[in-house]
Structure 1
Amino acid sequence: MKSILFAAAVALAGTSAFAAPEKYMLDASHSQIVFSYNHIGFSTTYGMFSGFEGEIMFDEADPAASSVSVSMPASSMITGWEKRFGHFMSPDFFGSAENDMVSFTSTSIEVTGEKTAKITGDLTLNDVTKSVVLDAVLNKSGQHPRAGKAWAGFDATATLLRSDFGLGAFAPAVSDEVDVMISIEAAKAD
């Protein structure tokens, strides 16, 4: 009887160790954050962050046990127009921030479907930290055909109010709501 209990304990210990979250590092060349907002009703204006760093502690067997942490300087924003970028870095927007880093750190994950989840986390933007919820989808996980290692890809969306982060200049003419679309790939850490 003791040997059966011991064997069961070893099997459970092996299972829980196998199911622990594994570290994945963002692939900066295939990770983007695109944001858009309405400009005075005439157009939708877009911007982007790319080439940023972050990590995911990914537990495919228990996604709720996963976590994500990402950061980038606001000054790495791509607007497509130099004068717009200059205005965004002025005191009207990010120029008044002591710290130019934008970061997101998850605080919980609620699994909503086979490949979907709501990721709640702390977004720090313009020296203000607020809780936000990302609607996330696991696109694919498995062996990367060229890298020869485990890989995972996710998409997520959210709508933010820029005024929540002290960035509400010209609202409501320029929409306070900013739509955010995220697509990332991550490689299992060596």
Structure 2
Amino acid sequence: MKPVLKHLMLLASLAASSAHAAEYRTVLPKQSAISFETRQMGVPVAGGFKRFTTQMVFDPARPEAASARIEIDLASIDAGSVEADEESAGKLWFNRSVYPKAVFTSSQIRALGGNRYEMRGTLTLKGKSRELIMPVSYVPGKTAATFNGAFTLKRLDFGIGEGMWADVATVANEVQVKFRIAASGK
């Protein structure tokens, strides 16, 4: 093959691959969700948050340049009952009058292969900040991509459920948090 033809084919293949790459920045709130599950007296209790904002930048060709920030409106909790939602507002739980939001800010995203990533960052909740490492999967689509992740939060590390609620036999210390963030390249 002549060198000029070889170079043209290489350029064409590079252009084709970059045409399929997308940088995801526009979050689709109606297709996104944050949920949690814990145990109360051994019984699973599921819930979620109805309002949160996400700012993100992700290019699968450059995951090391990615970033994410999620702010959760703690007043939007759905803990399974009106009583549980109201109880979560108090000083022993979220103390929402002082700390109305939980905020996660990424610091590093590392590719693991096969559309799997490790996201590191800081979660600030009830005035306490802790480093988190969580696995995230990337599922590309025709018009949008989905980012699915999960991690275990230890509620007592953040002072969530203090006083009489600190007994882990009553309410487990481990809270499984899951998220699905949908985003388009627009």
Q: Answer yes or no: same fold by TM over 0.5.
A: yes
Query: Amino acid of the residue matched to residue 168 of structure 2?
Result: P
Query: Amino acid of the residue matched to residue 160 of structure 1?
Result: L
1:159 alignment partner, one of 152, 155, 169: 152
Post-superposition shift, 1:99? 2.5
Post-superposition shift, 1:51? 3.9
Asked if structure 1 preserves the Cα contact closer than 8 Å seen for 2:69 and 2:106, the reply is yes
For residue 74 of structure 2, what is the aligned residue in structure 1? 74
Asked if structure 1 preserves the Cα contact closer than 8 Å seen for 2:28 and 2:181, the reply is yes
Query: Amino acid of the residue matched to residue 53 of structure 1?
Result: T
What SS is found at the alignment partner of 1:163? helix
Query: Amino acid of the residue matched to residue 157 of structure 2?
Result: D
For residue 5 of structure 2, what is the aligned residue in structure 1? none
After superposition, residues 1-190 of structure 1 pair within 5 angstroms as 22=23, 24-41=25-42, 43-95=43-95, 98-141=98-141, 143-144=142-143, 151-169=144-162, 170=165, 171-173=167-169, 174-189=171-186
* Residues 59 and 99 of structure 1: CA distance in aligned 2, closer, same or farther (over 3 Å): same
Normalised TM-score (structure 1): 0.79
Post-superposition shift, 1:115? 0.6
Post-superposition shift, 1:61? 0.5
**Mean Cα deviation higher: 102-111 or 91-100:** 91-100
Post-superposition shift, 1:102? 1.1
Post-superposition shift, 1:23? 5.1
What SS is found at the alignment partner of 2:87? helix
Q: How far apart in 2 are the matches of 1:21 and 1:126?
A: 36
Normalised TM-score (structure 2): 0.81
Post-superposition shift, 1:21? 8.4
What SS is found at the alignment partner of 1:175? coil
Q: How far apart in 2 are the matches of 1:185 and 1:164?
A: 29
- Return structure 1 stretches of 4+ with deviation > 3 angstroms: 18-23
Post-superposition shift, 1:96? 6.2
**Mean Cα deviation higher: 126-135 or 22-31:** 22-31
Long gaps (5+) in structure 1: 1-10, 145-150
* Residues 98 and 21 of structure 1: CA distance in aligned 2, closer, same or farther (over 3 Å): farther
Query: Amino acid of the residue matched to residue 130 of structure 2?
Result: K
Query: Amino acid of the residue matched to residue 162 of structure 1?
Result: R
Long gaps (5+) in structure 2: 1-10
CA offsets 1:48-77 (integer angstroms, 9 cap, x no match) = 013422121111112222111111211111
Asked if structure 2 preserves the Cα contact closer than 8 Å seen for 1:35 and 1:47, the reply is yes
